[in-house]
Structures are given as structure tokens and as C-alpha cells.
Amino acid sequence: MSDLDQTNSYRYVIVGGGVVAGYAVKGIRQEDSEGEILIISQEADVPYERPALSKKLWLDDEFTEENIQIGAENYPNVTFKFKTTVTAINRQDKVITLDDSEQIKYEQLLLATGGEPRQIQGPSDPHVLVFRQWSDYRKLRKFSGPNKRVVIIGGGYVGTELASSLTQNETEVTMIFPEKALGEGKFPEPIRTEYEATFKRNGVTLMSGQFVQSYQRQGDHLTLLTKDGTVIAADTIIVGLGVTPRISLAEDSCLDLADGGVKVNEYLNTSDPAIWSAGDIASYPDHILGRQRIEHVDHARLSGELVGRNMAGAHMSYQHTPYFYSMIFDISWQAIGNIDPKLQLIFDRRTHGSLVYFIDTDKLVGVLVWNVKVNLDDVRALLANAPATDDLVGSIREKKA
């Protein structure tokens, strides 16, 4: 008997334990009620709704940690391997190897490895958090509150949301980011000015155009040194510099790549018929926007559920065009498509906010919805069949209160 004959075998193996994994289990169970599922996760927790870590868990007293679990663990025949990494894929034999050298056979394999948080150099310290996991939220809860100073490095989604949430929980917050203005890469003027003013009005200290050169512990606190020589004291540092797609398994397995991710077709199948991908790392053909790779939860949920169904035998194309969003203090915004402020912009001002249309060579490529309630399917329809640019203003109706 060969070693492979003695290898554990599962009908479905999911590499990654995040949002995609949780929704993929839901999708599989819609088509296959009992096929064995294995989820291999580097984390120590069952799949959960990651956005709540920086938003709702801080702002809604009735929303608890129990509410963020997706529920994959409640289905039958679902096995977890926590704090485990897949080191290799043998596509010919349909076998994966784990970091403890265990080998596992699969019939259908899903790569949902997400992103690796970017870090900065410095000594290891329990009060320096690369905020990404449930365990990071638990730590930050202990490190925040009255008379606590938190410095956030980076001005992206995680950094801005945590700045808002921590400030509303009586924590002193300073943000350090390299851009000249907060939201510079997403928001045009005058929205960007309103965005920054909202943070300042709520007590957040903004240090724009700054790079953190180093940090060190000095007794009971940490100090950061910026490139221009400024020294800042903090009780806790949060690194929120975005993520890099984890695609080394796909690269080493010679799967087709695109857009810095794993190339999939409309069914979310890779160049290997037995291997699938969804979420942050998947480059997929959007039926409105063309090939995209999107790092946001709306895409993770819907692509995760659909890829699960397809792994279990459904043959459904991914027709969803995802949106991305954030909620900061009293600001709520959503967007679909390319919202690069360097593009041609058309402002559609409303009573309490604006819609901004992003035009590239006379074609509508993105829409930003700023403090306005609209039906996002209307935005998708507009992107799919945009009128002449002169007719864009007023083309999307607001929802009635």
C-alpha cells in the first residue's frame, strides 16, 4: 500500500478560514448535504465576519462577538484544522501537504487564502498589532479606552474605521499616513476636505505626509520616530497598511495568474478544473467592469457562496458586481467600480451628500455614493448601460426615507 493510499481524504478542502470559507460551506451544503469538508486555517477561530472587528463590535452594545460567527461549524461533516498552513499542492495526485508534513487528498480544492498584512520593521511587542484577526480585536479591547493612546499607521479602510471606533470609545487616537491628505487615493475634493474635517472635529490627530521610520519600547510606553524626526508616544500601535494577496501556493502550483491574483473564469474555476478560488485573491471576469480583483467583504461573501455551490456540482456564473463601503463617524459611503480621483469627475450634488461619477475616456467606470441612500442595483445598471456623460446627473434616484 502506498503512502497516498493511507492519506486522509475529503471531498472538499478549503485553504483559508475567513469569510470566503464560511460562505463556501453554505454554498456547498445547498448542493451537497453530506460531503466531507475540511477547512484549513492559519487562525484559531471558526470563520467570522471580519468587518465587525473594526466597526460594529465597537459601536453597538447589543452586538457581541457571538454575532460575528458565520456558522460554518454548525453544518454536518465539517472539520477544521486551526493554526495550520498548507505548504504545497500536488495537482496530479490531488494531494496537499501541511506544515506538519501531513498529506491530505481532495476531490475539489478551494484557495481562499486572502491577504497578508503589510508590516513595518521593529521589535516584537504585544502592544504592536497588525490588525487583521479576531484575536487582534480581543487584544485591542484590553489596550483601549480612557487615558489610552493609540497610534494608527496607515489611512486606509482598517485605519480609518478603527480611528472612528476607538475615538467613540474614549481612546486618544493619532493617525500617521504617507498621503498628503486622508482619502487622497479614493476621494476627490471637496469630499476629501469634508472627510479630514470630520476626523479632526471628533478629536483624531492627523499626521499626513509622514512615514514611520522606527519604533521602540521605552518603559511603560512605545515611541515612534517619523522620517522628519518627530517623536510620538503611544500605549499601542496599530499597523494598517493594507494587505498583499497570498498567492504563493497558486504560483508554486503553476496555476494561471492575473492582476496580482489567481486567474479564474466566470464559474470561479482556476486553470485546474479541480481547483477554485474566490475572495481577495481571485481575479475574475466581472460582467460589467471587466476583469477585477476585489478585496472587500461583499465580494468575499457572494463569491464564496457561489464557488461552494459550483464545487458541489452547480454550474453558475458569477454575475455579481461587488460594492465596497465604509462608515466613519457620521459619514457613510459606498462605491462600485474604479473611483480614482485623477479621472474626469462629474458631481451630482444632493441635499445631504453627493454622487460622483468617474469617467475614463468618455466612459463611466465608477460611482461614489457619499452620504446618500440609493439602490446599488441602480448604480450597477448605470455602469452597465451608461447614458451620455451630460445626462448622468440626476440619473440615480435616492431612496425614500
Residue 371: CATH number of its domain:
3.30.390.30
Residue 191 sits in the same domain as residue 260: no
pLDDT by residue (tens digit) across 235-283? 999 999 999 999 999 999 999 999 999 999 999 999 999 999 999 999 9
Provide mean pLDDT across the span 162-175.
Answer: 98
* Statement: residue 234 has pLDDT above 80: yes
Output the pLDDT for position 107.
99
**Would residue 170 count as lying in a domain?**
yes
pLDDT per position as a tens digit, 53-98: 999 999 999 999 999 999 999 999 999 999 999 999 999 999 999 9
Q: Which residues constitute the domain of residue 40?
A: 7-116+243-311
Q: Give the pLDDT of residue 345.
A: 98
- Tell me the three cell numbers of residue 299: 465580494
Euclidean distance between CA atoms 145 and 150, whole angstroms = 10
Whether 235 and 249 share a structural domain = no
Question: How does residue 342 score in pLDDT terms, banded at 50, 70 and 90?
Answer: very high
Domain shared by 109 and 247, yes or no? yes
Asked if 125 and 90 sit in the same domain, the reply is: no
Predicted model pTM: 0.95
Residue 325 lies in a domain: no
Mean pLDDT, to the nearest integer, of 202-214? 95
- Structural domain ending residue among the three candidates 239, 262, 279: 239
Q: Does residue 235 share a domain with residue 129?
A: yes
13 and 99 in a single domain? The answer is: yes
Distance of alpha carbon 193 from alpha carbon 100, whole angstroms: 51
Domain count, the chain: 3
Q: Are residues 110 and 155 in the same domain?
A: no
Last residue of a domain, one of 239, 258, 287: 239
Query: Is residue 165 located within the same domain as residue 199?
Result: yes
Whether 316 maps to a domain, the answer reads no
pLDDT band at 12 (very low <50, low <70, confident <90, very high): very high
Domain for residue 397, yes or no? Answer: no
Of 190, 221, 239, the one marking the end of a domain is: 239
Residue 95 and residue 203 in one domain: no
How much is the pLDDT for 121? Answer: 82
